[in-house]
Structure 1
Amino acid sequence: MSRWRPPAPASTAVITREGFERLREELNHLWKEQRPEVVKALAAAAAEGDRSENAEYSYRKKQLGEIDRRVRYLSKRLEVLKVIETMPSDPRAVYFGAWVELEDLESGDSLRYRIVGPDETDAAQGRISIDSPLARALLGKRGDDELEVELPGGRRGYAILAVDYSG
Protein backbone atom coordinates (compact mmCIF):
# COMPACT_ATOMS: atom_id res chain seq x y z
CA MET A 1 0.00 0.00 0.00
CA SER A 2 1.52 3.31 -1.04
CA ARG A 3 0.90 6.48 0.89
CA TRP A 4 -0.41 9.52 -0.91
CA ARG A 5 1.86 12.49 -0.78
CA PRO A 6 0.93 15.96 -1.90
CA PRO A 7 3.00 17.19 -4.82
CA ALA A 8 6.18 18.99 -3.86
CA PRO A 9 5.94 22.74 -4.27
CA ALA A 10 7.52 23.90 -7.49
CA SER A 11 10.93 25.39 -6.91
CA THR A 12 11.78 28.78 -8.31
CA ALA A 13 13.56 28.39 -11.65
CA VAL A 14 16.19 31.10 -11.15
CA ILE A 15 19.92 30.74 -10.73
CA THR A 16 23.07 32.85 -10.57
CA ARG A 17 25.55 32.71 -13.46
CA GLU A 18 28.06 30.84 -11.23
CA GLY A 19 25.44 28.27 -10.22
CA PHE A 20 24.38 27.75 -13.84
CA GLU A 21 27.98 27.18 -14.93
CA ARG A 22 28.52 24.67 -12.07
CA LEU A 23 25.47 22.66 -13.17
CA ARG A 24 26.55 22.76 -16.81
CA GLU A 25 30.05 21.58 -15.85
CA GLU A 26 28.53 18.75 -13.80
CA LEU A 27 26.41 17.68 -16.78
CA ASN A 28 29.43 17.74 -19.12
CA HIS A 29 31.56 15.78 -16.63
CA LEU A 30 28.87 13.13 -16.16
CA TRP A 31 28.15 12.77 -19.88
CA LYS A 32 31.66 13.04 -21.36
CA GLU A 33 33.85 11.54 -18.64
CA GLN A 34 32.08 9.56 -15.94
CA ARG A 35 29.42 7.81 -18.06
CA PRO A 36 31.88 6.46 -20.69
CA GLU A 37 34.10 5.08 -17.89
CA VAL A 38 31.16 3.30 -16.26
CA VAL A 39 29.91 1.92 -19.60
CA LYS A 40 33.40 0.53 -20.26
CA ALA A 41 33.58 -1.04 -16.77
CA LEU A 42 30.05 -2.45 -17.20
CA ALA A 43 31.00 -4.08 -20.50
CA ALA A 44 34.09 -5.61 -18.90
CA ALA A 45 32.03 -6.94 -15.99
CA ALA A 46 29.41 -8.35 -18.38
CA ALA A 47 32.14 -10.20 -20.28
CA GLU A 48 33.09 -12.11 -17.12
CA GLY A 49 30.16 -14.48 -17.49
CA ASP A 50 27.24 -15.18 -15.17
CA ARG A 51 25.69 -11.79 -14.45
CA SER A 52 23.36 -13.03 -11.69
CA GLU A 53 26.26 -13.53 -9.27
CA ASN A 54 28.51 -10.78 -10.58
CA ALA A 55 28.71 -8.02 -7.95
CA GLU A 56 30.78 -5.75 -10.21
CA TYR A 57 28.16 -6.00 -12.97
CA SER A 58 25.31 -5.18 -10.53
CA TYR A 59 27.24 -2.25 -9.06
CA ARG A 60 28.10 -0.77 -12.47
CA LYS A 61 24.53 -1.21 -13.72
CA LYS A 62 23.22 0.68 -10.68
CA GLN A 63 25.89 3.36 -11.07
CA LEU A 64 24.97 3.84 -14.74
CA GLY A 65 21.29 4.23 -13.80
CA GLU A 66 22.16 6.93 -11.24
CA ILE A 67 24.30 8.81 -13.75
CA ASP A 68 21.58 8.61 -16.41
CA ARG A 69 18.95 9.89 -13.93
CA ARG A 70 21.13 12.87 -13.00
CA VAL A 71 21.95 13.60 -16.67
CA ARG A 72 18.22 13.60 -17.53
CA TYR A 73 17.43 15.88 -14.59
CA LEU A 74 20.22 18.34 -15.37
CA SER A 75 19.40 18.41 -19.10
CA LYS A 76 15.77 19.29 -18.39
CA ARG A 77 16.51 21.68 -15.53
CA LEU A 78 19.14 23.70 -17.41
CA GLU A 79 16.57 24.36 -20.15
CA VAL A 80 14.10 26.03 -17.77
CA LEU A 81 16.47 27.90 -15.46
CA LYS A 82 16.66 31.67 -15.84
CA VAL A 83 20.07 33.18 -15.10
CA ILE A 84 19.67 36.41 -13.11
CA GLU A 85 22.62 38.77 -13.51
CA THR A 86 21.08 42.22 -13.25
CA MET A 87 21.31 44.45 -10.22
CA PRO A 88 17.99 45.32 -8.60
CA SER A 89 16.69 48.86 -8.97
CA ASP A 90 17.31 49.38 -5.23
CA PRO A 91 20.68 47.82 -4.30
CA ARG A 92 20.11 48.64 -0.62
CA ALA A 93 17.21 46.16 -0.50
CA VAL A 94 17.44 42.37 -0.31
CA TYR A 95 16.63 40.56 -3.56
CA PHE A 96 17.88 37.49 -5.44
CA GLY A 97 21.70 37.32 -5.52
CA ALA A 98 22.24 39.54 -2.47
CA TRP A 99 24.75 38.79 0.24
CA VAL A 100 23.03 39.65 3.52
CA GLU A 101 24.76 40.09 6.84
CA LEU A 102 22.46 39.46 9.78
CA GLU A 103 22.62 39.64 13.53
CA ASP A 104 20.70 36.98 15.43
CA LEU A 105 18.83 39.11 17.99
CA GLU A 106 18.75 36.29 20.55
CA SER A 107 22.37 35.12 20.47
CA GLY A 108 24.06 38.20 19.01
CA ASP A 109 25.78 35.99 16.42
CA SER A 110 26.63 37.51 13.06
CA LEU A 111 25.54 35.48 10.02
CA ARG A 112 26.19 35.98 6.30
CA TYR A 113 24.05 34.45 3.56
CA ARG A 114 23.64 34.78 -0.18
CA ILE A 115 20.16 34.32 -1.62
CA VAL A 116 20.44 31.93 -4.56
CA GLY A 117 18.29 29.54 -6.58
CA PRO A 118 17.26 26.17 -5.12
CA ASP A 119 19.68 24.30 -7.42
CA GLU A 120 22.73 26.00 -5.91
CA THR A 121 21.84 25.98 -2.21
CA ASP A 122 24.79 25.16 0.06
CA ALA A 123 24.37 26.06 3.72
CA ALA A 124 28.05 25.40 4.48
CA GLN A 125 28.97 28.08 1.92
CA GLY A 126 26.28 30.47 3.19
CA ARG A 127 24.08 30.06 0.09
CA ILE A 128 20.39 29.77 0.97
CA SER A 129 17.50 29.10 -1.42
CA ILE A 130 15.19 31.93 -2.39
CA ASP A 131 12.42 29.45 -1.50
CA SER A 132 13.61 29.10 2.12
CA PRO A 133 11.62 30.73 4.94
CA LEU A 134 14.53 33.02 5.88
CA ALA A 135 15.12 34.24 2.32
CA ARG A 136 11.39 34.85 1.78
CA ALA A 137 11.28 36.91 4.98
CA LEU A 138 14.33 38.93 3.90
CA LEU A 139 13.11 39.82 0.40
CA GLY A 140 12.46 43.54 0.05
CA LYS A 141 13.96 44.42 3.45
CA ARG A 142 16.84 46.93 3.82
CA GLY A 143 19.84 47.42 6.05
CA ASP A 144 18.88 48.24 9.66
CA ASP A 145 15.48 46.51 9.27
CA GLU A 146 14.53 43.92 11.87
CA LEU A 147 12.39 40.89 11.15
CA GLU A 148 11.00 37.78 12.76
CA VAL A 149 10.78 34.52 10.86
CA GLU A 150 9.35 31.09 11.62
CA LEU A 151 12.16 28.58 11.00
CA PRO A 152 12.11 24.80 11.48
CA GLY A 153 13.86 25.32 14.83
CA GLY A 154 11.35 27.94 16.00
CA ARG A 155 10.74 31.66 15.70
CA ARG A 156 13.90 33.80 15.36
CA GLY A 157 14.55 37.52 15.19
CA TYR A 158 17.22 39.11 13.02
CA ALA A 159 18.57 42.56 12.27
CA ILE A 160 19.94 43.24 8.79
CA LEU A 161 23.42 44.71 9.16
CA ALA A 162 24.40 44.93 5.46
CA VAL A 163 23.20 44.14 1.95
CA ASP A 164 25.81 43.62 -0.78
CA TYR A 165 25.64 42.45 -4.38
CA SER A 166 29.38 42.41 -5.15
CA GLY A 167 30.18 39.29 -3.15
Structure 2
Amino acid sequence: MPEKEVLLTLGGLKKLEEELEYLKSVKRREVAERIKEAIGFGDLSENSEYEDAKNEQAFIEGRILALEKTLRHARVIDTQELPDNVVSLGSKVTVKDVDSGEELTYEIVGSLEADPGEMRISAQSPVGKALLGREVGTLVEIQVPDGTLRYQILSISK
Protein backbone atom coordinates (compact mmCIF):
# COMPACT_ATOMS: atom_id res chain seq x y z
CA MET A 1 0.00 0.00 0.00
CA PRO A 2 1.57 3.33 -1.03
CA GLU A 3 2.33 5.79 1.73
CA LYS A 4 0.24 8.93 2.00
CA GLU A 5 1.89 12.13 0.83
CA VAL A 6 2.47 14.68 3.60
CA LEU A 7 1.94 18.31 2.59
CA LEU A 8 4.18 20.84 4.34
CA THR A 9 5.09 24.46 4.02
CA LEU A 10 8.80 25.21 3.75
CA GLY A 11 8.79 26.41 7.37
CA GLY A 12 7.15 23.18 8.49
CA LEU A 13 9.73 21.10 6.65
CA LYS A 14 12.59 23.00 8.27
CA LYS A 15 11.05 22.59 11.72
CA LEU A 16 10.76 18.80 11.30
CA GLU A 17 14.32 18.57 9.95
CA GLU A 18 15.62 20.57 12.93
CA GLU A 19 13.76 18.33 15.40
CA LEU A 20 15.18 15.22 13.72
CA GLU A 21 18.73 16.59 13.84
CA TYR A 22 18.33 17.54 17.53
CA LEU A 23 17.04 14.09 18.45
CA LYS A 24 19.85 12.35 16.57
CA SER A 25 22.72 14.57 17.66
CA VAL A 26 21.77 15.70 21.18
CA LYS A 27 19.01 13.63 22.76
CA ARG A 28 20.44 10.25 21.72
CA ARG A 29 23.74 11.10 23.42
CA GLU A 30 22.04 12.42 26.55
CA VAL A 31 19.95 9.28 26.97
CA ALA A 32 22.91 6.99 26.26
CA GLU A 33 24.81 8.79 29.02
CA ARG A 34 21.88 8.39 31.42
CA ILE A 35 21.73 4.67 30.64
CA LYS A 36 25.46 4.34 31.22
CA GLU A 37 25.16 6.11 34.60
CA ALA A 38 22.16 4.00 35.61
CA ILE A 39 24.02 0.78 34.80
CA GLY A 40 26.68 1.96 37.22
CA PHE A 41 24.11 1.89 40.03
CA GLY A 42 24.07 -1.90 39.90
CA ASP A 43 21.14 -4.32 39.91
CA LEU A 44 19.11 -3.47 36.79
CA SER A 45 16.01 -5.39 37.92
CA GLU A 46 15.16 -2.72 40.51
CA ASN A 47 16.86 0.28 38.92
CA SER A 48 14.23 2.94 38.16
CA GLU A 49 16.79 5.31 36.62
CA TYR A 50 17.76 2.61 34.14
CA GLU A 51 14.12 1.82 33.36
CA ASP A 52 13.27 5.51 32.84
CA ALA A 53 16.26 6.05 30.56
CA LYS A 54 15.44 2.95 28.48
CA ASN A 55 11.82 4.14 28.12
CA GLU A 56 13.00 7.56 27.00
CA GLN A 57 15.40 5.94 24.55
CA ALA A 58 12.55 3.91 23.05
CA PHE A 59 10.41 7.04 22.74
CA ILE A 60 13.22 8.99 21.03
CA GLU A 61 13.98 6.18 18.59
CA GLY A 62 10.28 5.90 17.75
CA ARG A 63 10.05 9.65 17.15
CA ILE A 64 13.16 9.55 14.93
CA LEU A 65 11.63 6.76 12.83
CA ALA A 66 8.33 8.67 12.54
CA LEU A 67 10.09 11.89 11.48
CA GLU A 68 12.23 10.07 8.92
CA LYS A 69 9.12 8.44 7.43
CA THR A 70 7.28 11.77 7.34
CA LEU A 71 10.20 13.50 5.64
CA ARG A 72 10.48 10.70 3.05
CA HIS A 73 6.86 11.30 2.05
CA ALA A 74 6.85 15.08 2.38
CA ARG A 75 5.91 17.38 -0.44
CA VAL A 76 6.68 21.04 0.12
CA ILE A 77 4.08 23.45 -1.15
CA ASP A 78 5.71 26.46 -2.78
CA THR A 79 3.43 29.24 -1.65
CA GLN A 80 4.86 31.58 -4.31
CA GLU A 81 3.35 29.40 -7.05
CA LEU A 82 -0.15 29.56 -5.59
CA PRO A 83 -2.65 32.25 -6.61
CA ASP A 84 -2.78 35.23 -4.25
CA ASN A 85 -6.53 35.68 -4.52
CA VAL A 86 -7.56 32.17 -3.37
CA VAL A 87 -7.07 30.54 0.05
CA SER A 88 -4.62 27.65 -0.21
CA LEU A 89 -2.09 25.81 1.91
CA GLY A 90 0.35 28.39 3.23
CA SER A 91 -2.13 31.28 3.00
CA LYS A 92 -2.67 33.74 5.82
CA VAL A 93 -6.36 34.51 5.89
CA THR A 94 -8.00 37.32 7.82
CA VAL A 95 -11.66 36.67 8.51
CA LYS A 96 -14.39 38.55 10.31
CA ASP A 97 -16.79 36.64 12.53
CA VAL A 98 -20.09 37.96 11.17
CA ASP A 99 -21.90 37.40 14.47
CA SER A 100 -19.36 38.89 16.91
CA GLY A 101 -17.49 41.28 14.61
CA GLU A 102 -14.16 39.83 15.80
CA GLU A 103 -11.35 39.67 13.24
CA LEU A 104 -9.04 36.64 13.23
CA THR A 105 -6.02 35.77 11.11
CA TYR A 106 -5.30 32.11 10.44
CA GLU A 107 -2.43 30.49 8.61
CA ILE A 108 -3.55 27.40 6.69
CA VAL A 109 -0.96 24.63 7.08
CA GLY A 110 -0.55 20.87 6.76
CA SER A 111 -1.88 18.76 9.62
CA LEU A 112 1.61 18.15 11.09
CA GLU A 113 2.24 21.89 11.35
CA ALA A 114 -1.05 22.85 12.98
CA ASP A 115 -0.85 24.84 16.22
CA PRO A 116 -4.20 26.45 17.08
CA GLY A 117 -2.60 28.51 19.85
CA GLU A 118 -0.45 30.18 17.18
CA MET A 119 -3.46 30.47 14.82
CA ARG A 120 -1.91 27.87 12.49
CA ILE A 121 -4.81 25.63 11.48
CA SER A 122 -4.80 22.44 9.49
CA ALA A 123 -6.20 22.46 5.98
CA GLN A 124 -8.06 19.31 7.12
CA SER A 125 -9.78 21.06 10.07
CA PRO A 126 -13.39 22.22 9.67
CA VAL A 127 -12.33 25.88 9.43
CA GLY A 128 -9.41 25.08 7.10
CA LYS A 129 -11.59 22.99 4.78
CA ALA A 130 -14.24 25.70 4.66
CA LEU A 131 -11.73 28.41 3.76
CA LEU A 132 -9.71 26.50 1.13
CA GLY A 133 -10.36 27.61 -2.42
CA ARG A 134 -12.37 30.68 -1.35
CA GLU A 135 -11.76 34.30 -2.32
CA VAL A 136 -11.83 37.66 -0.52
CA GLY A 137 -15.38 38.74 0.25
CA THR A 138 -16.74 35.19 0.44
CA LEU A 139 -19.03 34.36 3.35
CA VAL A 140 -18.49 30.83 4.69
CA GLU A 141 -20.56 28.88 7.18
CA ILE A 142 -18.65 26.32 9.20
CA GLN A 143 -20.22 23.58 11.30
CA VAL A 144 -18.32 23.18 14.58
CA PRO A 145 -19.29 21.32 17.77
CA ASP A 146 -20.65 24.54 19.33
CA GLY A 147 -22.85 25.36 16.34
CA THR A 148 -22.21 27.31 13.16
CA LEU A 149 -19.49 29.91 12.60
CA ARG A 150 -20.07 32.52 9.93
CA TYR A 151 -16.88 34.09 8.61
CA GLN A 152 -16.35 36.64 5.87
CA ILE A 153 -12.92 36.54 4.25
CA LEU A 154 -11.34 40.00 4.48
CA SER A 155 -7.85 39.34 3.07
CA ILE A 156 -5.49 36.65 1.85
CA SER A 157 -1.70 36.85 1.89
CA LYS A 158 1.30 34.54 1.64
- The question of whether the paired residues in 2 share the 8 Å contact of 1:100 and 1:112 is answered with yes
**In 2, Cα distance between the equivalents of 1:77 and 1:58?**
29
* 2:48 paired with 1:66: no
Report deviation, 1:88: 4.7
Map of 2:73 onto structure 1? 80
Map of 2:106 onto structure 1? 113
Gaps of 5+ in 1: 1-9
Selected match of 2:149 from 135, 138, 156? 156
- The question of whether the paired residues in 1 share the 8 Å contact of 2:98 and 2:152 is answered with yes
* Superposed CA offset, 1:52-103 (max 9, x none): 2211111111111110110010010001010111435531111111000011
Poorly superposed stretches of 4+, deviation over 2 Å:
86-90
Map of 1:29 onto structure 2? 22
Q: Secondary structure at the match of 1:48?
A: coil
Gaps of 5+ in 2: none
Map of 2:132 onto structure 1? 139
Map of 1:55 onto structure 2? 48
**In 2, Cα distance between the equivalents of 1:88 and 1:144?**
22
**In 2, Cα distance between the equivalents of 1:18 and 1:90?**
19
CA change 1:89–1:48 in 2 (3 A) is closer
- The question of whether the paired residues in 2 share the 8 Å contact of 1:121 and 1:128 is answered with yes
Report deviation, 1:12: 6.1
**In 1, Cα distance between the equivalents of 2:88 and 2:5?**
14
**In 1, Cα distance between the equivalents of 2:127 and 2:21?**
33
- The question of whether the paired residues in 2 share the 8 Å contact of 1:11 and 1:131 is answered with no
Q: Secondary structure at the match of 1:87?
A: helix
Map of 2:12 onto structure 1? 19
**In 2, Cα distance between the equivalents of 1:40 and 1:89?**
47
- The question of whether the paired residues in 1 share the 8 Å contact of 2:111 and 2:124 is answered with yes
One-letter code aligned to 1:94: V
Q: Secondary structure at the match of 2:80?
A: coil
Which of 23-32 and 36-45 deviates more? 36-45
Report deviation, 1:154: 2.0
Identity, % of aligned positions = 35
- TM normalised by structure 1 equals 0.88
Q: How many residues align?
A: 156
Map of 2:117 onto structure 1? 124
